[in-house]
Amino acid sequence: MDNASDYGSEDSRFDSWQDRDRTSSHDASTHGARRPVTVDVTRRCKQVACALVAFESRMQTQLEQLQLSVKQTQLEQERLKQDFFQKLAHQDSGVYLVQLIRFSNESFEVFRDGSNNHGYGSNWTVFQRRFDGTVDFNRNWTDYKNGFGNLWGEHWLGLEKLKKILDTERHELLIVMEDFEGVTAFAKYDNFMIGNASEKYRLKSLGLHTGIVGDSFSSQLNCNFTTFDQDATTLCAATFKSGGWHSNCYQSNLNGIYMKGGKQDSNKGIHWYYFRGYRYSLKATKMMIRPYNHDKK
């Protein structure tokens, strides 16, 4: 009996050792199965992180290249603009082609005044010129927007073209006038700005006035450009038969009716109040623009 009991005890111990072996074997197999999963996830995370870093690096490189391209384009545009005005500064009076932006299909011609205007030099682009009455200035909105006349003679350059030139940088305005007795006068403004088409080319700024005649233009500041078919408020354009920046109605009317001989019974002629008054129609006028401080460039 004792021996049987001993055998039973040994069998129990044997079974216990087998159980522990099976448990150890199971744990080992289980641990061995999980370990590759952890390693794989870690590896994938590293791959994703590396991919994100590489993507960010590519995006940064492309951004820097784009910024450089924009900067180069801006510098090239500025160079072309300066080149254009430098060429104008060394050319005689005449018609010249304007292309303000490189590679643009849009270009237009302007008349450049090469005379020495009252000591202000010859670097002026003319946008209004009158001297003999051959061109009718009582025109509709479309004509004033796009321009009319002959650049070599009487003409209006066009509000849209004028706006594009003014948008390149700050400009000054010079107005030169002459009466039928051969007396000339001028008025100069150092910061001429107008609005766009949706703003009816509103007269936004004139700046400081100088000249040998008084200021007959500032009263029209903040006024829209009007013509007989685009004048729902003042009716000045229709009444005085001219397109312009009208203000109930004005102190100047350089686009008025051309009347030979000077004196007039009405005030519908070409006039500048502080040069011969309302009752005198002038012989000749020029409205011209130039980059501000042009001589310092």
Does one domain contain both 192 and 83? no
Does one domain contain both 152 and 181? yes
Last residue of a domain, one of 64, 90, 116: 90
pLDDT (tens digit, 9 = 90+) per residue, 49-81? 888 888 888 899 999 889 988 888 888 777 766
CA-to-CA distance for 242 and 283, rounded, in angstroms? 16
What is the pLDDT, as a whole number, of residue 172? 97
Last residue of a domain, one of 53, 70, 90: 90
Find the range with the poorest average confidence among 3-12, 100-109, 237-246. 3-12
- Structural domain for 209, as ranges: 95-296
Does one domain contain both 133 and 231? yes
Number of structural domains the chain divides into: 2
Question: 187 or 120: whose pLDDT is higher?
Answer: 187
CA-to-CA distance for 42 and 44, rounded, in angstroms? 5
What is the pLDDT, as a whole number, of residue 266? 79
**Mean per-residue pLDDT, 37-50:** 78
Q: How confident is the model at residue 84 (pLDDT cuts 50, 70, 90)?
A: low
Does one domain contain both 22 and 51? yes
**Residue type for position 136:** D
Does one domain contain both 171 and 268? yes
Identify how many contiguous H helices and E strands the chain contains and give both numbers: 4, 15
What is the pLDDT, as a whole number, of residue 276? 93
Does one domain contain both 104 and 12? no
**Mean per-residue pLDDT, 223-236:** 89
If you average pLDDT over every residue of the chain, what do you get? 84
Does one domain contain both 60 and 101? no
Both tokens of residue 64? 């820097």
pLDDT at 160 over 90: yes
Question: CA angle, corner 116, sides to 110 and 119, nearest 5?
Answer: 130
pLDDT at 4 over 50: no
CATH of residue 172's domain is: 3.90.215.10
Among 194, 199, 196, 174, which Cα is nearest to 184's?
A: 174
In the chain, pLDDT over 70 holds for what percent of residues? 80
pLDDT at 17 over 50: no
pLDDT at 206 over 80: yes
Does one domain contain both 259 and 134? yes
What is the pLDDT, as a whole number, of residue 198? 97
One DSSP character per residue, 29-48 reads: HHHHHHHHHHHHHHHHHHHH
Does one domain contain both 47 and 113? no
Question: 31 or 166: whose pLDDT is higher?
Answer: 166
Last residue of a domain, one of 41, 72, 90: 90
Does one domain contain both 189 and 274? yes
Among 229, 233, 274, 230, which Cα is nearest to 253's?
A: 274
pLDDT (tens digit, 9 = 90+) per residue, 279-296? 899 999 999 999 997 665
Alpha helices, DSSP H, located in 90-204: 141-146, 159-166
**Mean per-residue pLDDT, 238-245:** 92
Does one domain contain both 148 and 246? yes
Question: 286 or 267: whose pLDDT is higher?
Answer: 286
Does one domain contain both 253 and 231? yes
CA-to-CA distance for 92 and 81, rounded, in angstroms? 19
Other beta carbons within 10 Å of 50: 10
What is the pLDDT, as a whole number, of residue 76? 77
